[in-house]
Each structure stands twice: as structure tokens, then as C-alpha cells.
Amino acid sequence: MIIIDTARPEARHEPVVLLFGVGLIGHSILDELQHRRPVAVTVMPYDWSDSSQRKLQVQAIEERTSSIARNGSAVRIVWSAGRAGFLSSVAETETELASFRDVLALAERLTQNTHTQMSFHVISSAGGLFEGQRHVAADAVPAPMRPYGVLKMREEELVRNSTNLSSHRIYRLSSAYGYIRTGTRAGLVAKLISDGLRRSVTHMNGTMRTLRDFVFACDIGAYIAEQLLDPDVMASDVSLLVRARPCSLLEVQQMIEEVMGRKLYVTYVAEAVNSADITFSSDACPARWSPSDLRANIGRIYRAALSSSWS
């Protein structure tokens, strides 16, 4: 995890951000914060599997945060971590939930011990919560169909039920995609581009007609960074960060083939557990959310991949 000190000399009460999980979404949030202003970044270890080791690490994180959180400064904790996915078992999701509980307990202690304004931001999953549903609205009730969705629902419930936090923000993301980063899951679009450059086969769970809602990680990072730096973020909220313009898996494949100028090698595995459509209503998104164009972003990711390959 990393601690991000956003304070500027002329504004001493700006928030300290604790970012747990620097994968696809976490990287995008960090990039956006660094783009908006100079920040001080402290990298600290956090063990996702060893609870005894994690206890010592959480103590160190707590001490470090308390030392840099100035009088009147707010603290924002962002949970964008987790190795669990759609196909994870109950045992895998329970391990992740244990880590989440430790971070939530850290937030509650910091609130009590430092009397800071604590805002807890959770990256959740619209796909996991609303799998198999169409035209999901902002007020839709989650109905998870597998352990991963149950995990996300439980994380949301734990944060909402905490009585020690000043506020919370929950971001329910659809199928996120982003730039290709070594060691980080980048989503289906980047996977197709990466495999296409290597001329290898991509195995996709679903049929050619399966509908998904693809949202760009950079858009997500920009939106959440704005929330983190907003002094009025102390109101609790739940947001659906979706594009609300679904595409079939075949449509996405064809867009990438047009941009790359070559055919992709793709096999579709029409498993019942991962082939259901997931779509969202156009009025489900928050007011200041503005997702960018899928095809244009495919071009950006492809050009970045080419540049990286030849650098």
C-alpha cells in the first residue's frame, strides 16, 4: 500500500490518502493525483495473506499516518485491493475479507485516536453485484450470484454499518480496462491487444453475443481523485461508474482488429457461469461522471503498447 500526502505549502489542511491496492484502478488513482499536483508518496508493505505479519504492518501504517496527518487534516482510505475475481472460491474471498476488515479497523482507530475526519472509499463491482441483470438503475438492489459478488456486498455493508467513520464512498465499477502494466490485471481490452501483438490465442468466457459494459480505468481514476481532493466529500454516497452503452464481446474484438489492422485469435467458452449479459441504465451514473469513448481508448492503449514494445 502507499500513503499519499497531498498537502501544498499554501494549503496545510489537505487530505492524506491511504491507498490499499495499486493495481489497475489504484494505479489510475495515483497517476491522477500526481498529475493534479505534487504529492509525497510513501510505500509501505501490507501482507495480503499472513494475518500475523499484517498486524505489525498495520501498526506501522497507523503510526506513519498519525505522524503526517496535521491538525485538522482529513484522512481518506481507498480500498482498491484484492486478488479475488468472478471465479474465486469462498475460501479466497474470505481471505480477502479478512484483509478488508483489518483496514476498516485501522480507519476506525485513526478516527478515534487522532479525531480526524475519516472518509473510507471502497472500489466495488457492479458486475459482481448485478450479474445477469439488464438495465440496472442507480437504486437497483444487489443480488450477487457467486462468492465474489457476496464479498463485495459484505464489504459495502461493513463500511455502511461502521459508526466511527465520518463518511464513506462506494464506487460500483463495471468491466474496467486500462493500459498494459507488468504484473497488473488490465482487463479484457488490454488482454486482447497484448495477445494480438504476440499473435497468441485469447480465451474468453462468454459467447460472441454476451453483453458487457466497458469503462476506462483512467476515467475512474480521474473521478475518484476528484472525490478524494474535494473538501466536501464528507457526505456518504454510492456511485455506479459505468459507461451505460453495452458492447458484445464480438464487437470489442472487431474494434480491436480494426485498430490493429489484423485478425485476433479468439476462442469463446460459453460457460453458464460467466456468459450472462450485464447492462446498465443511462440514468444510473452520477452527475459529474463522464466516461470516454471505447474505440478511441483502444487506439490509445494500442499505441502505448507499441511504444513500450519498441522502447
pTM of the model: 0.94
pLDDT of residue 182: 81
Q: Which CATH architecture is the domain 2-310 placed in?
A: 3-Layer(aba) Sandwich (3.40)
Tell me the pLDDT tens digit for each residue of 280-303: 998 889 988 999 999 999 999 999
* Rounded-to-10 torsion of CA 9, 45, 160, 212: 100
pLDDT of residue 287: 86
Give the DSSP H/E element, type plus range, for residue 170: strand 167-173
Q: What is the β-pairing status of strands 2-5 and 40-43?
A: antiparallel
For helices 217-229 and 24-36, give the axis angle rounded to 10 degrees: 50
Residue with cell 505549502: 9
Q: Which residues of 65-94 are buried (b: 16+ CB within 10 A; e: fewer)?
A: beeebeeebbbbbbbbbbebebebeeebbe
Q: How many CA atoms lie within 13 A of 90 on its CB side?
A: 1
- Compute how many other C-beta atoms are within 10 angstroms of the C-beta atom of residue 30: 21
pLDDT of residue 311: 43
- Averaged over successive runs of 10 residues, the pLDDT of the chain (311 residues) comes to 78 82 95 92 89 90 84 86 89 94 94 86 96 92 95 98 92 95 85 95 90 96 94 81 95 97 91 77 90 97 85 43
pLDDT of residue 234: 66
pLDDT of residue 13: 66
